[in-house]
């Protein structure tokens, strides 16, 4: 039988000590976030529905999106024990320059729509974390402004090659002039993907005030307040555009894009050239032959061709096809540091994340992005230690088994 006694006041006192009240609601909410999935839930509460759905959703039935994520649930780590893991080294090199983590913040359009702090918040966090960030052609901060607002960061510029090649050439020249380190050509967008959530939500840029969005505004007053009290939301690299996302994309994307264009770009851009949106070994070989220094195995986060191959599953054959002629990165579905470790073990030099930091941005601006970066870094370190591996660069395919089934 349990023996009971009356507690002494001195024993109760430490239990009753009230925690300091945090008046800053963003700080309070972020303090309770333990994972990127938690950040996603917070983002869903803080951003208007159409905005959250734009970031969270994919194309068609979102089969690619779900597969890109669930493949990480098939990962079974093969740990070794009794290895001294008291000191860990998470660093690697990306495009020949040191990176504090094997991670890159992926290019995302419309970023200031998620939160008014937008791309500068992402670039500054990337700089603090010691990783590169790629500004999108559909970005909402100009090439020059971002470089000025995030000094000391490793900035890449992601290019959609427009129908108007002269305009593309201008963008490339501006990126070069502003000191961008690398050019990322995205090649999986001959036409815009069919994003059904955006159609259903009637998403436009800038977001327009319909009766529905107005009613929503009451629920997300802070977001609308930011929208109307800060500089207009527009594509900083494009002319002001009023229309749906799909209409804009149809103007910018060029269905005639071909391998010759890649060769042309190789001529006009002197720095490292990354080709993003590769899902087959043949294409990987071809773009490396045409002068790419790196490829991103990617299906655009499931936002373009639905039922496209799943990036993590394609990674090993592409790494094999490219050998040491180019670096190989992977993206799509990465929501934890353990996912990053699995991707590196299967042969990627670095993993790109899009939504992981966008959830942070929606949840709490720059502080939310910082939180996302901290979560990922901590999880990479924890996974590495439990795997019995001390250095990121020592990760090998034998550390990971892909089980046939999820679960």
Ligand X SMILES: Cc1cc2nc3c(=O)[nH]c(=O)nc-3n(C[C@H](O)[C@H](O)[C@H](O)COP(=O)(O)O)c2cc1C
When asked if residue 368 is in the footprint of ligand X (CB under 6 A), the reply is no
Q: Quick one: which segment of 42-50, 172-180, 352-360, 377-385 binds ligand X (CB under 6 A)?
A: 352-360
Minimum gap (Å) between residue 65 Cβ and ligand X = 7
Q: Which stretch binds ligand X (CB under 6 A): 79-87, 235-243, 278-286, 355-363?
A: 355-363
Minimum distance from residue 9 beta carbon to ligand X (Å): 53
Binding of ligand X by 55 (CB under 6 A): yes
Tell me: does residue 354 bind ligand X (CB under 6 A): yes
Angstrom distance (rounded) from CA 74 to CA 80: 19
Q: What is residue 19's DSSP assignment?
A: P
SS3 405: coil
Closest CA to 373 of 97, 105, 98, 90: 105
The token pair that represents 379 in the structure block: 């999880």
Task: Report yes or no: 150 and 144 within 8 Å, Cβ to Cβ.
Answer: no
User: Among 305, 382, 372, which residue's Cα sits nearest to residue 334?
Assistant: 372
139 vs 364 by CB, closer to ligand X: 139
Candidates 36, 90, 94, 108: give the one binding ligand X (CB under 6 A).
108
**Residue with Cβ nearer ligand X (345 or 358):** 358
**Quick check: 332 and 351 in contact, CB under 8 A?**
no
The residue among 326 and 334 lying less far from ligand X, judged by its C-beta, is 334
56/161 Cα distance (integer angstroms): 25
106 interacts with ligand X by CB under 6 A: yes
**Rounded to the nearest whole angstrom, what is the least distance from the CB of residue 139 to ligand X in the complex?**
7
Q: In angstroms, rounded to a whole number, what is the distance separating the alpha carbons of residues 246 and 70?
A: 28
Closest separation between CB of residue 27 and ligand X, Å?
25
Region near ligand X per CB under 6 A, out of 28-36, 208-216, 300-308, 365-373: 300-308
Based on its alpha-carbon atoms, the radius of gyration of the chain, rounded to whole angstroms, reads 22
Q: Which is nearer to ligand X, 153 or 158 (CB)?
A: 158
Distance of alpha carbon 170 from alpha carbon 22, whole angstroms: 48
- Which residue in the set 107, 193, 347, 364 belongs to the binding site for ligand X (CB under 6 A)? 107
Residue 333 interacts with ligand X (CB under 6 A): yes or no? yes
Among 116, 125, 140, 158, binds ligand X (CB under 6 A): 158
Residue with tokens 């046939």: 404
Considering only the C-alpha atoms of the chain, give the largest distance between any 2 of them, rounded to a whole number of Å.
85
Active site annotation includes 300: yes
Give CB contacts under 8 A, 24+ apart, made by 196-202: 196/57, 196/59, 196/60, 197/53, 197/54, 197/56, 197/57, 198/50, 198/53, 198/54, 198/57, 198/244, 198/245, 198/246, 199/246, 201/49, 201/50, 201/53, 201/54, 202/50, 202/244
Should residue 294 be labelled a site residue for ligand X when binding is judged by CB under 6 A? no
Q: Work out how close the CB of 242 gets to ligand X at its nearest, in angstroms, rounded to a whole number.
A: 19
Q: Considering the candidates 115, 220, 300, 399, report the single residue annotated as catalytic.
A: 300
Q: Which of 74, 112, 197, 276 binds ligand X (CB under 6 A)?
A: 276
Point out which span in 5-13, 25-33, 143-151, 348-356 binds ligand X (CB under 6 A): 348-356
Q: Please identify every residue annotated as catalytic.
A: 300
The footprint of ligand X (CB under 6 A) covers: 54-55, 106-109, 136, 138, 158, 186, 276, 298, 300-301, 303, 331-334, 352-356, 358
């Amino acid at each position: 039988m349990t023996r009971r006694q009356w507690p002494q006041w001195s024993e109760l006192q430490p239990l009753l000590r009230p925690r300091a009240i945090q008046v800053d609601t963003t700080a309070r909410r972020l303090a309770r976030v333990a994972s990127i999935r938690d950040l996603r839930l917070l983002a869903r509460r803080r951003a208007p529905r159409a905005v959250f759905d734009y970031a969270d959703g994919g194309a068609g039935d979102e089969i690619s999106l779900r597969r890109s994520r669930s493949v990480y649930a098939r990962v079974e780590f093969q740990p070794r024990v009794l290895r001294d893991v008291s000191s860990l080294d998470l660093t690697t090199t990306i495009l020949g320059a040191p990176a504090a983590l094997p991670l890159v913040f992926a290019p995302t359009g419309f970023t200031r729509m998620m939160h008014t702090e937008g791309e500068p918040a992402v670039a500054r966090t990337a700089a603090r974390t010691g990783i590169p960030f790629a500004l999108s052609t559909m970005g909402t901060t100009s090439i020059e402004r971002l470089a000025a607002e995030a000094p000391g960061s490793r900035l890449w510029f992601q290019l959609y090659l427009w129908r108007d090649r002269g305009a593309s050439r201008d963008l490339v020249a501006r990126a070069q002039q502003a000191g961008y380190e690398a050019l990322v050509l995205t090649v999986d967008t001959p036409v815009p993907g069919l994003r059904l959530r955006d159609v259903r939500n009637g998403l436009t840029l800038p977001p327009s005030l319909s009766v529905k969005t107005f009613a929503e505004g009451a629920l997300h007053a802070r977001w609308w307040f930011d929208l109307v009290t800060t500089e207009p939301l527009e594509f900083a690299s494009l002319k002001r555009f009023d229309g749906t996302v799909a209409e804009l994309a149809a103007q910018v994307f060029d269905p005639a894009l071909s391998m010759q264009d890649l060769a042309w770009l190789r001529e006009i851009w002197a720095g490292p050239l990354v080709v993003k949106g590769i899902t087959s070994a043949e294409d990987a070989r071809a773009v490396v032959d045409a002068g790419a220094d790196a490829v991103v195995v990617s299906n655009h986060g499931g936002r373009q061709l639905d039922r496209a191959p799943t990036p993590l599953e394609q990674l090993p054959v592409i790494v094999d096809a490219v050998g040491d002629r180019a670096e190989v990165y992977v993206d799509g579905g990465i929501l934890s540091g353990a996912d990053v470790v699995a991707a590196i073990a299967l042969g990627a030099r670095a993993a790109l994340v899009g939504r992981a930091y966008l959830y942070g941005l929606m949840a709490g601006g720059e502080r939310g992005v910082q939180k996302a970066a901290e979560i990922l870094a901590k999880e990479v370190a924890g996974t590495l230690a439990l795997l019995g591996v001390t250095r990121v660069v020592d990760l090998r395919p034998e550390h990971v088994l892909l089980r046939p089934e999820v679960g």
